[in-house]
Each structure stands twice: as structure tokens, then as C-alpha cells.
């Protein structure tokens, strides 16, 4: 039986079983033993002491700092073995671009394991090599704590899947771990454009005479190249030949190396009774951000600390997961962005060399423009020159042209529903709201979705352009913007709510139907937004479709008279036109349903109608939902096809949003989480895109633009927090040029006010 009652209020666990002798499991064992020498700790490792897979391990300074604080003995041993370097080399079409100042530390995985073996043995931890661990349930019957550090293929996780609720995603590339018997002088990324497709090498030194070399490519490229029929030796030889320049003609060696597809592991829970998951058993993050061993070691640190700090095991395991989960989820988001970047590598190969290099370096969104400028200002300055930035001008303040409209910077105030109109009429609130944002420095200020009919409103508070009174009221606002903020453009977003209409104001209950006064809804198909909650819309017949087209046409004519500079057609977020585009909301069997081409038919008819009315020198954009975040819905490939169709019909830019199409969506929230969809459209089709979605800082904007992932960046919440967000971004970057002029009445506020006294006398003498 266990030595203690781990679910009660007794002492901390004394008998500990560790399944898996990788770095995470060994480090957890060493720390727990060091914290309490009375603990009885056993590590089960099915392999021999010298067996290891992979070659080099990269650790960050942050992780090393934690190790130094927790166990100086291990830290000193690691310090003696590290290979350190600062540069990243990116080879693009025969040209090598180097960025410095990054700071890496690496050592051999076998060396790391040897250090941990020695430390465990010196502390009295038993390691049972060549011994598969008993099942976790069996160990839990005789131990206070079972640490399952048994890797990505964790048997423990599989055996208790009902408790841990794992979700495992297999990705689209194949990769193989190899080694070269010489030290690269930088972290090297090299691209080989073969007859079968793009292949990439990730390489870095891990000892004075050895380097890790990972070769990766899309599954279809891997098969076309015949690697699926190659054994380990042949794979090594062929990879060495493909990347002969990087290797200077030297061979590659393997170590039980196999081509595998990366799998992202996520678990809803990390503990079950006395058993807890650690490292790859709990979570994985793509190797391209060097995170696997780092996360496992940091897990071990946190687990040991929580067990030491909390009075019971239940509380310790809850604290461990509470502490680590946000860190892991953030890392997994960064790793997912990096992974997808390499999956879509082929779309970036046509970029100019420096932009390609900057794009690669910032792919995970953890390295940004400002961060990279601190590391290597000369490299970043060169990228900015290639981008076309005037001297002393950040990327976000470079102008951009759409048809006859020149925008003085790349910032857009995103459309935001205000729910503050009466009978569709914009009034003083809208003048102040939009006028304040126009004075705040953004190049383009967008209205909320302006509805083309009373029945096309989302709520009774939504604005419209379905009467002449509406057009006159909007003219008052556009005149203010043009007169009081010269150089600022104002755009109108036209839309129809479809099946998501006749609901309460957002703060009264988002997407909740009105208690009284509901109006009938129409949609592509008679499907309610939430069955049993929202009303079932009427499916539009041919006459109904013609009426809707005419409503958009009338609204477009009024938009011209209202003085708007740009018109955007809202085909996103589950509203009427979006409802035609998604297979989840369009179940029609006529010419407007079924195939992607048929689902596009009505939105394109509306677009053509509006484009014919909208003046030829004024740009027109389209907002789409590039994914429904739901199984069976719109995919990233569908989004590219949609964008291609709208551009072919005359769209000047695609405003790329996601989701809000079906209530059962599961978005992957995170910083800039929607930008990869805009990136893909832009770099696949070569068309201008507006990127949206949790872009919160001017550093994000600069990074996205300079990497070629977006042409304009639309921000919503930051402009609610700070109407002068763009002007303040200029001030914080010491920019005073034409891309962000302060309105004359506000000129005295162009410097940040001091926040406290800074002129106090400084001490001159120290008395002892």
C-alpha cells in the first residue's frame, strides 16, 4: 500500500514511481529526491543507459536559470558541456542570410541523459534500465505518486484515456532525425527546391564535432520523392546528397531514425488519482521551436515545487496543472504557427530573400520585429529597406494604395457593431465614435456592419442604409472625418444578418432572440443558428434572392451619396452571404447550393451588382470567414478558392476573418490567431489582404507587414481601449512623419506626459 494517504491532509508522497527515463522523468526524480532524501524513488526505463533517439537538445537561458536555482550540481555539469552560438543562417535560393544575437545553448541528448543518470544515482534514485514499467494502475496501488513521463506514445495516457481525455492531431509533413559529424557554425535553415517539391533542413551544433540535422517535407513530396520506399541508410544517403552544400559534401548518420509525422498531443486533464502526466505524455510542441525537452524539464521543476509547497497530493497536482497549462498552451500556439509555416513553405518561396528570412524568423510570433531589431538591427534595417520603408519609418507607417485611394499607413479601425442606432439611423454616438477613431491616426476607419434592410439588421440597435434619412446621417459623419481629419479614409461595410438577425443587443444577451417584436428571418437554408433557441429562417427563393440583390444595390447607391471612400461586402460571420458560402449552413439543392462554385454564386452576384454601382476609382473589399472552426465546414483551401473568385470579379483586397458561422465552433484563440489564414491567401494568390484577429500591439502590426503576411492590419478592441492607438504607436516608436500626423488641436499631446518626478537630487555620499 502507499506510504501515505495522498488524497488526505497527511505528509507529502514518499514512494514515487517514474515511468520513462527521458530528461523530464529523470529530472523530476532527482528534484524530488533532493527535496526529501527520505523518499523512495524508482525510475523504469525500457531502454539501455546508452540508448537514445535524436541527437542534440537545445535549452533556453530561461530554462537554464530554473535549473541553476533548483539544482546547481546539474547546472554546473550542463555548463561544462554546452555548445553556444548566436547566429541563424537561412539559405534561400542559393543566398545565405545571417541574423545574429539570438543566443542558443545545446548539448547531446546522450550527454544530457548521462548527467541526469549520474545525478539520480548520487542521490539514491533507483533506475531500472531495460525494464518496462508495470502499468500505472498497478504502480499506483503501491506508490504515493506515479509520474508518467513515457513520451508521445504514452501507454499510461492511452490506458486512462477516459480520464485524461487526450486529443492527438497528426500533421502534414514527414521528418527524420539525423546527425553530421561536424559542427555547424550557426542554426541553419536551408530549402531545397526539388522536382518533387520543397524540402527543408533544420540543423544546429550540439558538440564541438557534431550537429543535429532534421530533414522535413510535405507528405506528398515525401512520397513523390520515393522516401516512403527507402530504408534508414538510403534515407540518410539521399538527404546528404540533397543538402550537400550545407554539409560540404559530408555524410549523415542515423540512429534508429525513421520518417515520422509530427503529432500534437493535448490532454484535457493531466492527472488521474495518484498518476500525473509529464512532458510529451501530456503535451507536445513542434521541434521547429526547440521545445520538447525544455517543456519536460520545466514540467519537472514545477511538479517538484508544487509537491514541496502544497499540503496534499491532490492540491499539488492541481497547482502543477494550473501553473503549467497556460505556459504550455502558449508554447503550443507558437509551435502550431511554426509548424504550419513549414507546412505552407512552398507559398513563401517567391518572396524576396530578406523578407523570406524575416518571415521564417518570426513564424511562431514569439520573435517579433521589435525583438529582432534589438537582436540584429542591421539585418532588420535591411529588411525594412527592401520593404520600402522611408528612412526612420516603421513598416506600419508606409503608405498603401487600393485603386484611387492612397492610405497613409497600414492601420485599419476594424468594423465593430455598436448597437446604438434607432431604426437604423446613425446619430451623435456614431459621429463621436467614428470621429474619435478618425482623429486617432488610423489610415482607414470602418463602420460597423451597415444593414441593407430593416429585416437585415442583427439587433434593433444596428445601423442601416435603407432610407435616404440614413444616407444623410452617414454623410454628416463622412464629412466630419474628411474635414477634421484630412487624409483619413472612411469605409462602409454592407451586410445582411440572415439567420442571425432579430436578436437582443449584445450586452442584453448576445445571439439571444428578442422577447417581443421579432421580425422574420431569411437565409440560404431553413436552419436556425441555435436549434430550439433562434427562429428558423425562410429559405430564399428566386424572387427573394432578387429582392436581396436590389437591397444591396440601393444601399450601395446611398453609400456613394454618403461620401464613403471604400465599400466592404460582409460575407463572413454567419450572416446572410456567409450562410451561402459555408457547407454547414447552405443545404440547398438548386444552382445556389452543393458545390463550392454553386455556394459562391449568390455572393458573387451581389458583389457584381454592387461593384457595378460603386465608383470605379474607389476600392471594394470583401470580408470572409476563412474557416468555420467546425468539422465539415469551410477549410483554409476553401477560403483560398473564395478569395480567388472574389478577386477575379474585381475585389481589391480580401479582409480575412474566421468563424462565428455556427454556434458549435471551437476556435483556436491566441494572439494573432486568425492571421495565418490571411497569410495563406496573400502568399498563395498574390492579392492584398487585411488581417484581423487579436492583433494587439504595434509590434505585431510591424511584424505581420514586414513578413509579407498582410498588407493592412485591422484592430478592434485596441481602438476601443484607446481611440488614439495609432498616434500613440507612432509616439512610442519616435515616429513623427507623414504616416501619422497629429490633428492640429491635439498637437500639444503628441508627447507622452511625465508620470512622476524625475529631478530629485541623487545621493552623493555613503556613510559607513
Q: What is the pLDDT of residues 352-390, one digit of tens each?
A: 999 999 999 999 988 999 999 999 999 999 999 999 999
**The three three-digit cell numbers of residue 358, written as one number:** 524575416
CB 465 within 8 A of CB 494: yes
pLDDT for 291 equals 76
Is residue 53 very low, low, confident or very high in pLDDT (cuts 50, 70, 90)? Answer: low
pLDDT of residue 761: 61
Q: pLDDT tens across 317-356, in order? A: 999 999 999 999 999 999 999 999 999 999 999 999 999 9
pLDDT at 583 over 60: yes
Residue 758, pLDDT score: 56
Question: Residues of 528-562 as b/e, b for ≥16 C-beta within 10 angstroms?
Answer: bbeeeebbebebbeeeebeebbebbbbbbebbeeb
Asked whether the CA dihedral 321, 322, 323, 328 is positive or negative, the reply is: positive
Give the active site residues. 575
Give the H/E segment covering residue 568. strand 566-571
Supply the pLDDT for residue 58. Answer: 84
C-alpha grid cell for residue 600? 459562391
What span, in angstroms and rounded, lies between the C-alpha atoms of 364 and 367? 7
| 69 alpha carbon, distance to own chain's centre | 32
% helix / strand / coil in the chain, to the nearest 5?
Answer: 40, 20, 40
- Decide if pLDDT at 63 tops 80: no
**Sign of the Cα pseudo-torsion (143, 148, 149, 150, in order):** positive
Is residue 765 scored above 90 in pLDDT? Answer: no
This prediction's pTM: 0.90
Cell 456614431 -> residue: 430
- pLDDT of the residue at 65: 77
Name the helix (H) or strand (E) containing 597: helix 596-613
Lowest mean pLDDT among 48-62, 469-483, 577-591, 741-755: 48-62
Q: Is the pLDDT of residue 692 over 80?
A: yes
Report whether 701 contacts 694 (CB < 8 A): no
Nearest by Cα to 3 from 28, 31, 36: 36
Are the beta carbons of 56 and 203 closer than 8 angstroms? no
Q: In the structure, what pLDDT confidence band is assigned to residue 669 with cuts at 50, 70 and 90?
A: confident
* Residue appearing with cell numbers 430593416: 454
- Per-residue pLDDT tens digits for 456-465: 999 999 999 9
Does position 9 have pLDDT exceeding 50, yes or no? no
Neighbours of 305 (CB within 10 A): 18
- Cα–Cα distance for residue pair 276/641, rounded to 1 Å: 45
pLDDT at 10: 40
Q: Are 82 and 105 a contacting pair, CB within 8 Å? A: yes
For CA atoms 146, 149, 155, 157, give the dihedral sign: positive
Tell me the DSSP string of 366-398: SS-HHHHHHH-HHHHHHHHHHHTPPTT--GGGS
Q: What dihedral do alpha carbons 474, 449, 419, 501 form, nearest 10°?
A: 130
**DSSP secondary structure letters along 731-743:** HHTT--STTSPPP
Instruction: List the grid coordinates of 202.
Output: 533544420
- Dump pLDDT digits (tens) for 714-736: 999 999 999 999 999 999 999 99
Q: Which of 47-56, 418-427, 494-503, 690-699 shows the lowest per-residue confidence on average (mean pLDDT)?
A: 47-56
DSSP, res 464: B
- Give the DSSP letter string of 604-656: HHHHHHHHHHS-TTS-EEEEEES--SSTTS--HHHHHHHHHHHHHTT-SEEEE
End-to-end alpha-carbon separation of the chain, Å?
A: 62
Predicted pLDDT at 200: 97
Predicted pLDDT of residue 11:
54
Burial profile 741-756: b = 16 or more Cβ within 10 angstroms, e = fewer: bbbeeeeeebeeeeee
* String of DSSP letters for 533-546: TSPPPEEP-HHHHH
DSSP states along 201-238 = EEEEEEETTEEEEEEEEEHHHHHHTTGGG--HHHHHHH
- What pLDDT score does 1 carry? 47
* Mean pLDDT, residues 560-573: 98
Amino acid at each position: 500500500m502507499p506510504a501515505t494517504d495522498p488524497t488526505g491532509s497527511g505528509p507529502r508522497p514518499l514512494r514515487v514511481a517514474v515511468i520513462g527515463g527521458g530528461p523530464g522523468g529523470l529530472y523530476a526524480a532527482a528534484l524530488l529526491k533532493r527535496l526529501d532524501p527520505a523518499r523512495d524513488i524508482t525510475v523504469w526505463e525500457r531502454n539501455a543507459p546508452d540508448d537514445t533517439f535524436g541527437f542534440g537538445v537545445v535549452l533556453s537561458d530561461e530554462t537554464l536559470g530554473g535549473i541553476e536555482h533548483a539544482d546547481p550540481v546539474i547546472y554546473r555539469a550542463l555548463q561544462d558541456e554546452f555548445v553556444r552560438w548566436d547566429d541563424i543562417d537561412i539559405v534561400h535560393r542559393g543566398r545565405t542570410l545571417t541574423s545574429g544575437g539570438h543566443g542558443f545553448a545545446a548539448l547531446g541528448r546522450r550527454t544530457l541523459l548521462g548527467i541526469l543518470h549520474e545525478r539520480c544515482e548520487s542521490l539514491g534514485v533507483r533506475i531500472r534500465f531495460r525494464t518496462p514499467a508495470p502499468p500505472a494502475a498497478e504502480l499506483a496501488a503501491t506508490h504515493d505518486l506515479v509520474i508518467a513521463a513515457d513520451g508521445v506514445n504514452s501507454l499510461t495516457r492511452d490506458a486512462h484515456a477516459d480520464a485524461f481525455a487526450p486529443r492527438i492531431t497528426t500533421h502534414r509533413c514527414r521528418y527524420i532525425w539525423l546527425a553530421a559529424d561536424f559542427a555547424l557554425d550557426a542554426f541553419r535553415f536551408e530549402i531545397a527546391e526539388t522536382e518533387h517539391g520543397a524540402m527543408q533542413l533544420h540543423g544546429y551544433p550540439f558538440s564541438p564535432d557534431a550537429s543535429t540535422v532534421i530533414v522535413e517535407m510535405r507528405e506528398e513530396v515525401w512520397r513523390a520523392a520515393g522516401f516512403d520506399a527507402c530504408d534508414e541508410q538510403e534515407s540518410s544517403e539521399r538527404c546528404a546528397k540533397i543538402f550537400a552544400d550545407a554539409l560540404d559534401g559530408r555524410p549523415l548518420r542515423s540512429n534508429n531514425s525513421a520518417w515520422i509525422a509530427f503529432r500534437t498531443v493535448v490532454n484535457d486533464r493531466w492527472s488521474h488519482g495518484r498518476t500525473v502526466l509529464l512532458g510529451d505524455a501530456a503535451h507536445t510542441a513542434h521541434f521547429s521551436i526547440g521545445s520538447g525537452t525544455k517543456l519536460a524539464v520545466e514540467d519537472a521543476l514545477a511538479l517538484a515545487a508544487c509537491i514541496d509547497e502544497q499540503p496534499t497530493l491532490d492540491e499539488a497536482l492541481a497547482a502543477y496543472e494550473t501553473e503549467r497549462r497556460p505556459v504550455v498552451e502558449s508554447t503550443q500556439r507558437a509551435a502550431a504557427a511554426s509548424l504550419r509555416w513549414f507546412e505552407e513553405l512552398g507559398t513563401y518561396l517567391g518572396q524576396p530573400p530578406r523578407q523570406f528570412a524575416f518571415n521564417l524568423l518570426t513564424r511562431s510570433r514569439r520573435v517579433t520585429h521589435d525583438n529582432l531589431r534589438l537582436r540584429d538591427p542591421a539585418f532588420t534595417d535591411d529588411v525594412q529597406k527592401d520593404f520600402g520603408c522611408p528612412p526612420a519609418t516603421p513598416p506600419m507607417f508606409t503608405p498603401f494604395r487600393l485603386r484611387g485611394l492612397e492610405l497613409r499607413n497600414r492601420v485599419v479601425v476594424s468594423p465593430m457593431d455598436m448597437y446604438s442606432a434607432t431604426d437604423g439611423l446613425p446619430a451623435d454616438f456614431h459621429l463621436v465614435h467614428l470621429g474619435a477613431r478618425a482623429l486617432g491616426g488610423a489610415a482607414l476607419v470602418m463602420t460597423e456592419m451597415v444593414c441593407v434592410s430593416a429585416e437585415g439588421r442583427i439587433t434593433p440597435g444596428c445601423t442601416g442604409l435603407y432610407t435616404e434619412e440614413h444616407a444623410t446621417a452617414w454623410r454628416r459623419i463622412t464629412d466630419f472625418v474628411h474635414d477634421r481629419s484630412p487624409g483619413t479614409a472612411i469605409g462602409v461595410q454592407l451586410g445582411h444578418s440572415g439567420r442571425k438577425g432579430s436578436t437582443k443587443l449584445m450586452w442584453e444577451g448576445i445571439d439571444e432572440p428578442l422577447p417581443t417584436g421579432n421580425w422574420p428571418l431569411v437565409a440560404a437554408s431553413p436552419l436556425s443558428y441555435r436549434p430550439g433557441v433562434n427562429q428558423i429562417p425562410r429559405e430564399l427563393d428566386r424572387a427573394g434572392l432578387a429582392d436581396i440583390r436590389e437591397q444591396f444595390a440601393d444601399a450601395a447607391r446611398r453609400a456613394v451619396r454618403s461620401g464613403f471612400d471604400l465599400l466592404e461586402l460582409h460575407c463572413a460571420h454567419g450572416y446572410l452571404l456567409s450562410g451561402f458560402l459555408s457547407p454547414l449552413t447552405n443545404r440547398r439543392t438548386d444552382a445556389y447550393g452543393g458545390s463550392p462554385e454553386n455556394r459562391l454564386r449568390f455572393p458573387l452576384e451581389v458583389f457584381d451588382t454592387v461593384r457595378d454601382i460603386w465608383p470605379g476609382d474607389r476600392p471594394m473589399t470583401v470580408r470572409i470567414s476563412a474557416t468555420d472552426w467546425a468539422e465539415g465546414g469551410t477549410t483554409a483551401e476553401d477560403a483560398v478558392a473564395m478569395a480567388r473568385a472574389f478577386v477575379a470579379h474585381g475585389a481589391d483586397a480580401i479582409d480575412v476573418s474566421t468563424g462565428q458561422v455556427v454556434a458549435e465552433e471551437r476556435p483556436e484563440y491566441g494572439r494573432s490567431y486568425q492571421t495565418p489564414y490571411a497569410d495563406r491567401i496573400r502568399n498563395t494568390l498574390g492579392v492584398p489582404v487585411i488581417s484581423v484577429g487579436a492583433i494587439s500591439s504595434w509590434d505585431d502590426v510591424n511584424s505581420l507587414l514586414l513578413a509579407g503576411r498582410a498588407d493592412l492590419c485591422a484592430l478592434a478592441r485596441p481602438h476601443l481601449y484607446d481611440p488614439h492607438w495609432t498616434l500613440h504607436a507612432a509616439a512610442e516608436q519616435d515616429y513623427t512623419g507623414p504616416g501619422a500626423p497629429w490633428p492640429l488641436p491635439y498637437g500639444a499631446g503628441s508627447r507622452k506626459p511625465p508620470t512622476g518626478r524625475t529631478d530629485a537630487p541623487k545621493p552623493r555620499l555613503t556613510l559607513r
